[in-house]
Amino acid sequence: MKLKADRAAFLKALAHVQSVVERRNTIPILANVMLAVRDSKLTLTATDMEIAVLEDVPASASRNGACTAPAATLYEIVRKLPDGAEVELDHPGGDAQLALRAGRYATSLVVLPTEDFPSMSAGSLPHKFSIPAQELRGLIDRTRFAISTEETRYYLNGIYIHATEADGIKVLRAVATDGHRLARVELPLPEGAGSIPGVIVPRKTVNELRKLLDEASGDVGVALSDTRIQLHVGPVTLTSKLIDGTFPEYERVIPRDNDKILRVGKKDFSDAVARVAAISSERSRPVKLSLAKDLLVLSASSPEQGTATEELDGDRVSYSAGPLEIGFQARYLNDITDQVGDQVEFLFSDGAAPTVVRDAADTSALYVLMPMRV
């Protein structure tokens, strides 16, 4: 294998693939990236056995071949090369070292045999559709904060994606919950997604995909089966296993009859939450919302530090139902308001029942929050 590549293009691809490599690895070859040249084209691959990322890099290749080299080391080296450098890679084959040269810099890296590099086969992926990158970004941002990290209910460790109907309109729906909050986001159903199975996309895959989407524009190609999902984002192909489990029947926990409606400016609200919550360093302490006609009082207290309150009145708050007191974790409130536009809408039932939160101007996303005792 022999080739020359532009440092910037090579670095960008390395950054993508090395990000799936686990820092602590018991299987040495999983710390490596595979570099393969075939038909004058360079392809980088990295995997953690759950996710595989594959990326084509523009290069001028003079000899076919393949080897695997330590991903983190290679990335660090290329990152430190000067801007505009041309990187030359040369691997004669077998277990010889990989030579990397750039200008007057030269290094030799120990390689591991490509035969040992695990290949993750996607199998057949019968369902194919595409989503604009921007919409996929919105779908992830508005759900991933609610993904659970608990091990016992592993089927909550991802975003549940499925096709369904909402008010007679076909939609692609994404749901995530950790038991304390739930996020549900809908997109118009893309063509070809009508008969997809419900799948749970693991948290790490979601996060890797989200990173790739930062730079992406245009459409993202999605292909999936019951057990695998494959995403094509520009030059990158990300293949991932899906979580083998049953997502809970989330529809049953979404309240239908909450009729006490609060509308409040998002910025006024989230700033006030942040200010009153600052009294306590304990993250799980609740912020109390006390409601009366067109008046919202936020308060928090800490036995060690004291108390704090802030009032939002008729100019900024609209509420016409009876008095109500309810508490929520400050971080949970902010995770939701971070995803909302100008006006946030709360639909309460009582101080102990799940509350619905949404963007007053956008019905595509809906959030449910469990109250805390205050």
Partner 1 sequence: MTDALCRDCGAVAVAAPICPSCDGVRIVRHAELFQLHIAHVDCDAFYASVEKRDRPELASKPVIVGGGTRGVVSASCYIARLSGVRSAMPMFQALKACPDAVVIAPDFPKYTAASRQIRALMEKLTPLVQPLSIDEAVLDLSGTAALHGAPPAAVLARFARAVEADVGVTISIGLAPNRLLAKIAAGRDKPRGFAVIGAAEARSLLAPEPVRLLPGIGPALAKKLSALGVTSLGHLQALSDKDALRRLGDDGPAWVHRARGEDSRRVDPARETKSISAETTFASDLAQRAELERALWPLAEKLARRLRQKSFCTSGVVLKLKTANFVQRTRATKLPGPSVLPDALFAAATALLAKEIDGTAFRLIGIGANGLLPLDQADHADLADPDTPRRVATQTAIDQLRGKFGTAAIMRGRGWR
Binding region for partner 1 (CB under 8 A) = 148, 150-153, 156, 177-182, 248-250, 252-253, 354, 368, 370
Phi, psi of 122 (to 5 degrees): -80, -20
Residue in 162, 158, 163 with CA at minimum distance from that of residue 176: 158
Q: Which is nearer to partner 1, 77 or 370 (CB)?
A: 370
Q: Which is nearer to partner 1, 151 or 315 (CB)?
A: 151
CB of 248 to partner 1, least distance (A): 5
CB of 197 to partner 1, least distance (A): 20
CB of 181 to partner 1, least distance (A): 7
**Per-residue CA distances from 182 to 249, 250, 258 (Å):** 12, 8, 16
Distance, CA of 197 to CA of 163 (rounded, Å): 8
Indicate the SS3 state at residue 341.
coil
Q: Which is nearer to partner 1, 216 or 368 (CB)?
A: 368
CB of 254 closer than 8 Å to CB of 288: no
CB of 247 to partner 1, least distance (A): 9
CB atoms < 10 A from the CB of 284, how many?
10
CB of 249 to partner 1, least distance (A): 7
Q: Which is nearer to partner 1, 16 or 181 (CB)?
A: 181
First-last CA distance in the chain: 66
Q: Which is nearer to partner 1, 272 or 368 (CB)?
A: 368
Give the pairing of strands 41-47 and 51-57. Answer: antiparallel
Q: Which is nearer to partner 1, 177 or 240 (CB)?
A: 177
CB of 318 closer than 8 Å to CB of 268: no
CB of 155 to partner 1, least distance (A): 9
